[in-house]
Amino acid sequence: MRLLIVGSLNGQLTAATRIAMDKGASVLQADTIDTALRTLRSGRGADLVMIDVSLPIQRLITSLEEERIHVPVVACGIATDAKAAVAAIRAGAKEYIPLPPDAELIAAVLSAVTADSRDLVVRDEAMQAVLKLADQVAGSEASILITGESGTGKEVLARYVHRKSARVDKPFVSVNCAAIPENLLESELFGHEKGAFTGAVARRVGKFEEASGGTLLLDEISEMDVRLQAKLLRAIQERMIDRVGGGKPVPVDIRIIATSNRNLADAVKEGRFREDLLYRLNVVNLKIPSLRDRPADILALAEHFGRKYAEINGMPERPLSADAKRELIAARWPGNVRELENTIHRAVLLASGIEIGVEAIRSPDGARMEGNVTVPRSTDPAARAAQTAEAVTRALVGRTVAEVERDLILDTLDHCLGNRTHAAKILGISIRTLRNKLNEYEAEGIDVPDPGTSRIATA
């Protein structure tokens, strides 16, 4: 986690810096917006910008957009400056952090930005086999393709491989190919020269150069436009990149790890992914099983998240009751580890006794984990799957396809607390398609949760 802090508030930002560093962030500091922009262009990079609310935040965000620098911005200032806080959010800041800084709030913001838990908890034999293969190939220079359903922990495994590699002391840089618009992704990856397009006021180093010497993670590479895939293939093959608007190739030394929640072989057949690029990326394939296929990990992860969120929220650590454990093991977890983490976070907040009881294991709308479908559990997996399919089909009879699609999208967004990128991954659609659907629903007067909220929470 790389944090760039812009401005100074009589030592208050210094305190925030110390807190962030204690939480594992590497921190850079810039006194002015111009200095911050030079830092971001230079390739030193940041995963989050935290800016003094008294500075012209609109200017910073406009400059980032014009120069195609994709990084979230949060504002911070004295707690009583409500007008400045509102102005910062309207200018485009994602969050407002009141000062003096609160350690738990800083931790929550950093956790939200990094999105995935960085802790690798493994107990199940199926996942241990994947980890054994990761250990075996981590020290090589081979490109690695990590596949698996959304929420299984692909980025966590990628970071594990980097930590086990000879490049561990060099940068680990992640690019979410699904979250960055197509017209920005090329500049994000390869950088640009001054004057390459409107707003390119200076040379900017891209993620390839930023990661040089280390590891570049191309997260959800299946979402990359096929035209950009050709340029990526050349960069991987020749270890040379061309900045947008540049005329001179730039050498880079990186190890590529890519992730996908889709079957890339099918994407090749459909013409959406280059076969030669797949061969370059898929030297070694680490396929992460879904959480339902590694049941021994469920309770280990649940206990880990229980300890984590009890500490973050300043609450007593409670063990899971026997009934709660049975509920967790019986659930299907379509959102995998990410869904389990959200469920346990919620359970930590809802639990009231000396244990986390079954009554606290709820979906975002307050329903039991099985939802509205009751399925007798067979000992035969095939029979159990058939029973589930039949029960789900019966529950949908009488509803239109549009209604089912709308409820699925909104319920998934609720489950992800408004995080559109995570919801799109779980739904198996592009972020652009999800945004278009949500715009349609809002136009119809349907409540759509903002990032960090749910419809239940805002009702």
The confidence score (pLDDT) of residue 305 equals 93
Question: In percent, how much of the chain has pLDDT > 90?
Answer: 42
Contact between 172 and 198 (Cβ < 8 Å): no
Contact between 229 and 273 (Cβ < 8 Å): yes
The confidence score (pLDDT) of residue 384 equals 52
The confidence score (pLDDT) of residue 116 equals 46
Q: Which of 255, 219, 217, 220 is nearest to 239 (CA)?
A: 255
The SS3 assignment for 275 reads helix
Angle, vertex CA 309, rays to CA 292 and CA 336, nearest 5: 15
Residue 7 falls inside a structural domain? yes
Q: What is the CATH number of the domain that holds 362?
A: 1.10.8.60
Instruction: Please indicate whether residue 90 or residue 162 has the higher confidence score (pLDDT).
Output: 162
Residue 255 falls inside a structural domain? yes
Number of neighbouring beta carbons within 10 Å of residue 410? 20
pLDDT higher than 70, residue 458: no
Give 420: exposed, middle or buried? Use CB within 10 Å, 0-12, 13-18, 19+. Answer: middle
Most confident of 62-66, 355-359, 376-380: 355-359
Q: For the segment 401-418, what is each residue's pLDDT rounded down to a tens digit? A: 777 888 888 888 877 777
Q: Which of 201, 175, 171, 178 is nearest to 190 (CA)?
A: 175
pLDDT higher than 60, residue 325: yes
Same structural domain, 194 and 246: yes
Q: What is the CATH number of the domain that holds 429?
A: 1.10.10.60
Same structural domain, 134 and 282: yes
The confidence score (pLDDT) of residue 373 equals 40
pLDDT higher than 80, residue 396: no
Q: Which of 8, 91, 103, 107 is nearest to 48 (CA)?
A: 107
Same structural domain, 47 and 98: yes
pTM: 0.67
Same structural domain, 340 and 415: no
**Which residues have a Cβ under 8 Å from the Cβ of 197 and sit 6 or more positions away?**
68, 244, 245
The confidence score (pLDDT) of residue 376 equals 43
Q: What is the CATH number of the domain that holds 98?
A: 3.40.50.2300
* Alpha-carbon separation of residue 168 from 43, 156, 160, 175, 182 (angstroms): 18, 15, 10, 18, 30
Q: Which two tokens stand for residue 457?
A: 């929470």
Same structural domain, 349 and 415: no
> What's the rounded mean pLDDT across residues 227-255?
91
- Band (pLDDT 50/70/90 cuts) for residue 375 is very low
Contact between 93 and 75 (Cβ < 8 Å): yes
Same structural domain, 55 and 110: yes
Same structural domain, 19 and 90: yes
Residue type, 118: R
* Alpha-carbon separation of residue 431 from 234, 409, 434 (angstroms): 27, 12, 5
Q: Which long-range contacts (CB under 8 A, 24 or more apart) does 387-392 make?
A: 388/332
| Sheet of 73-78, strand order | 26-30, 2-6, 48-52, 73-78, 95-99
The domain boundary, picked from 243, 264, 287, lies at 287
Question: In percent, how much of the chain has pLDDT > 70?
Answer: 84
Residue 386 falls inside a structural domain? no
Residue 120 falls inside a structural domain? no
Residue 104 falls inside a structural domain? yes
Lowest mean pLDDT among 12-26, 134-148, 337-351: 12-26
The SS3 assignment for 49 reads strand
Same structural domain, 159 and 237: yes
Same structural domain, 169 and 267: yes
pLDDT higher than 50, residue 456: no
Residue 389 falls inside a structural domain? no
Angle, vertex CA 447, rays to CA 443 and CA 452, nearest 5: 120
Residue 107 falls inside a structural domain? yes
Q: What is the CATH number of the domain that holds 281?
A: 3.40.50.300
Range of the domain at 201: 125-287
Contact between 310 and 348 (Cβ < 8 Å): yes
The confidence score (pLDDT) of residue 452 equals 55
Same structural domain, 165 and 238: yes
pLDDT higher than 50, residue 437: yes
Q: What's the chain's average pLDDT?
A: 83
Same structural domain, 436 and 307: no
The confidence score (pLDDT) of residue 247 equals 79
User: What is the domain count for the chain?
Assistant: 4
Same structural domain, 438 and 317: no
Lowest mean pLDDT among 103-117, 409-423, 433-447: 103-117
Contact between 213 and 167 (Cβ < 8 Å): yes
Residue 393 falls inside a structural domain? no
The confidence score (pLDDT) of residue 101 equals 64
The confidence score (pLDDT) of residue 204 equals 86
The domain boundary, picked from 56, 81, 114, lies at 114
Contact between 323 and 156 (Cβ < 8 Å): no
> What's the rounded mean pLDDT across residues 78-102?
79
Residue type, 212: S
Q: For the segment 182-232, what is each residue's pLDDT rounded down to a tens digit? A: 778 998 899 888 888 877 778 888 999 999 999 999 999 999 999 999 999
Q: What is the DSSP string of 298-311?
A: HHHHHHHHHHHHHH
The confidence score (pLDDT) of residue 23 equals 66
The domain boundary, picked from 287, 305, 339, lies at 287
Q: For the segment 34-78, what is each residue's pLDDT rounded down to a tens digit? A: 999 988 888 777 888 989 888 999 999 998 888 778 788 988 887
Q: Round to whole Å and give the CA distance between 219 and 155.
A: 7
> What's the rounded mean pLDDT across residues 160-174?
92
